[in-house]
């Protein structure tokens, strides 16, 4: 989409540093710039709580669409944790979400403010989730916990990381990166039962809230055990 003067900038939130993130960036071989944010400053600035999330910014630096789920779907929760299989219907939902979001981005790249997916200023404000005092306190706890970890004070840092997650339970970024700093699992969280238990506790609440995008699937895509 370069012919439309459109640029994608990806940001890897990786508390363990550039070398930890680099292996995944090299594997993806992106054609766009990838920044590495070890302190979660981008997430703080745009009030992001999960990955992948995206913010649309126009040529004047104005937010066209605030932070939102960028093409992912809760259908991944249908995956069998024992053998890794997933039903075709769940896979189809995931693909539909990716396609709907990608198509919306392409439409915006081509038509700019005239795109049906571009929010007006009023719509953007209505979709904007502003941080409150508790969020600010959680972010401060996370940053201080990270600082202590980076200076070898692991046990002390864990106290602040845990408190950050308690203050802001909706932030999967804070939760996963706290686990990442403790190096739980090969990807920081993937092998940890506590992570999946926390996801299962959501019930019908969304891990990936669907964005307000035409054609984006809103059904859960998995069965909730009662």
Give the pLDDT of residue 38: 87
Burial 13-45 (b: 16+ CB within 10 A, else e): bbbeeeebbeeeeeeeeeeeebebbbebebbbe
Q: Read off the pLDDT of each residue in 119-137 and give the average, rounded to a whole number.
A: 95
Give the pLDDT of residue 221: 84
Q: Read off the pLDDT of each residue in 33-47 and give the average, rounded to a whole number.
A: 92
Q: Read off the pLDDT of each residue in 123-148 and give the average, rounded to a whole number.
A: 95
Tokens of residue 145, six digits = 């916990």
Give the pLDDT of residue 190: 46
Cα distance between residue 194 and residue 49, in whole Å: 18
Burial 107-119 (b: 16+ CB within 10 A, else e): bbbeeeeebebbb
**Domain residue spans in the chain?**
2-126, 133-200
Percent of the chain with pLDDT over 90: 74
Q: Read off the pLDDT of each residue in 107-116 and give the average, rounded to a whole number.
A: 96
Closest Cα to residue 143, out of 53, 41, 19, 10? 41
Average pLDDT, the chain: 90
Residue 226 has pLDDT above 80, yes or no: no
- H-type helices in the chain, by residue range? 18-28, 41-46, 88-111, 121-126, 133-150, 154-167, 172-181, 193-200
Residue 18 has pLDDT above 90, yes or no: no
Q: Which CATH class is domain 2-126?
A: alpha beta
Residue 224 pLDDT grade (very low, low, confident, very high; cuts 50, 70, 90): confident
Dump pLDDT digits (tens) for 78-110: 998 888 899 999 999 999 999 999 999 999 999
Dump pLDDT digits (tens) for 179-211: 888 765 444 444 478 888 899 999 999 999 999
């Amino acid at each position: 989409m370069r012919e439309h003067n459109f640029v994608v900038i990806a940001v890897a939130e990786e508390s363990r540093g550039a070398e930890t993130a680099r292996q995944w960036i090299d594997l993806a071989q992106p054609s766009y710039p990838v920044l590495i944010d070890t302190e979660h400053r981008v997430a703080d600035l745009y009030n992001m709580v999960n990955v992948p999330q995206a913010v649309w910014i126009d040529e004047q630096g104005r937010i066209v669409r605030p932070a939102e789920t960028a093409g992912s779907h809760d259908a991944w929760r249908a995956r069998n944790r024992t053998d890794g299989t997933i039903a075709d219907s769940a896979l189809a939902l995931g693909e539909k979400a990716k396609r709907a979001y990608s198509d919306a981005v392409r439409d915006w790249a081509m038509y700019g403010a005239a795109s049906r997916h571009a929010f007006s200023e009023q719509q953007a404000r209505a979709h904007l989730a502003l941080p409150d005092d508790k969020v600010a306190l959680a972010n401060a706890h996370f940053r201080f916990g990270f600082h202590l970890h980076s200076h070898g004070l692991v046990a002390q840092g864990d106290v602040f990381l845990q408190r950050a997650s308690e203050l802001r339970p909706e932030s999967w970024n804070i939760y996963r990166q706290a686990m990442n700093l403790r190096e739980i699992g090969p990807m920081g969280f993937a092998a940890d039962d506590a992570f999946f238990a926390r996801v299962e506790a959501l019930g019908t609440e969304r891990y990936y809230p669907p964005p307000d995008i035409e054609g984006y699937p809103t059904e859960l895509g998995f069965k909730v055990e009662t």
